[in-house]
Amino acid sequence: MAHRSQGLDLFIADPSNYALLFSGESVARPPSLFGAQSSKDTVWALHDRAFLLWHGCVRMRSDARINDADKGHFAVRAWLEADALGEALNKHTCEIERAFIFQAREYIFNTQMCISFEFQRFIPLVTSNINGLFHRDKAEEWLNHQAAVAERFMLGLHTITGNLNNLLARRPFFVFWFMGQISRSLALWQCDNTLTVALDVCKALLPAIDYLTALWPCPEQRHRYELLREQLAQACFVARLNPPDPLNLTLPPVSSPDLLV
């Protein structure tokens, strides 16, 4: 979805086809465990709600049965819900389940990007007070966080000493997540060319993609990655920034094949 491509219309992807409790909701229901906090505001439930909101936006944008006015109303409600979910996540300061919090924030930002880029033309049908939903502060917050993520992954790569026993080696599909983050960062820069930190984030994520591309070769992924690199190089040229480093598919020597099992 980072490439704004058409998704599959699957039954399992439609939230209205489910009547289930959120993750951990049955555990959180007893007041003696969570006090006055709603069972729908736990870390796990907020993650699920953010996930459903994101997929709801993806389905709505391509639903030809919905008229433009209804799509505009949906976009406004979805934006307000995304803000509410973000505020609810901010209340969780206990440093547990950080993976759920991180992923929930990813869904929230993706939702806001989807609304900004895909639903913007429907907004005037709802209100004349909204002149665009792109928020630079939200974009900068997300980009700064992605820069920190890239730094942590690179720290792991730099500590490799003759083996592939690291966080990325066993996660081949992370390569598409990293590529998606670069696509989103490029979209933000295209929306605001002064947001050059987006291009810095793109370049910071490249070594991790190079590593996974070399470790888990895939012709289709390689083709898409080369196109993405070309887009980034062109953006850096326009922004008068240093170009990205050349593609590096060199791997450290493997001390034991068992490390990949």
Q: Where are the alpha helices (DSSP H) in 19-135?
A: 25-28, 31-34, 43-61, 68-90, 98-118
Among residues 105, 112, 109, 111, which one has the least CA distance to residue 43? Answer: 105
- pTM: predicted TM-score of the whole model, two decimal places: 0.70
pLDDT above 80 (res 175): yes
> 118-132 pLDDT, tens per residue?
666 665 544 433 444
Average pLDDT over residues 154-179: 69
Identify residue 209 by its one-letter amino acid code: I
**Which one is predicted more confidently, 228 or 111?**
228
Instruction: Show me where the domains of the chain are located.
Output: 1-132, 134-261
> Residues 18, 25: contact at Cβ < 8 Å?
no
Quick one: average pLDDT of 104-116?
86
Residues 6+ apart with CB under 8 A from 50: 82, 85, 103, 104, 105, 107, 108, 111
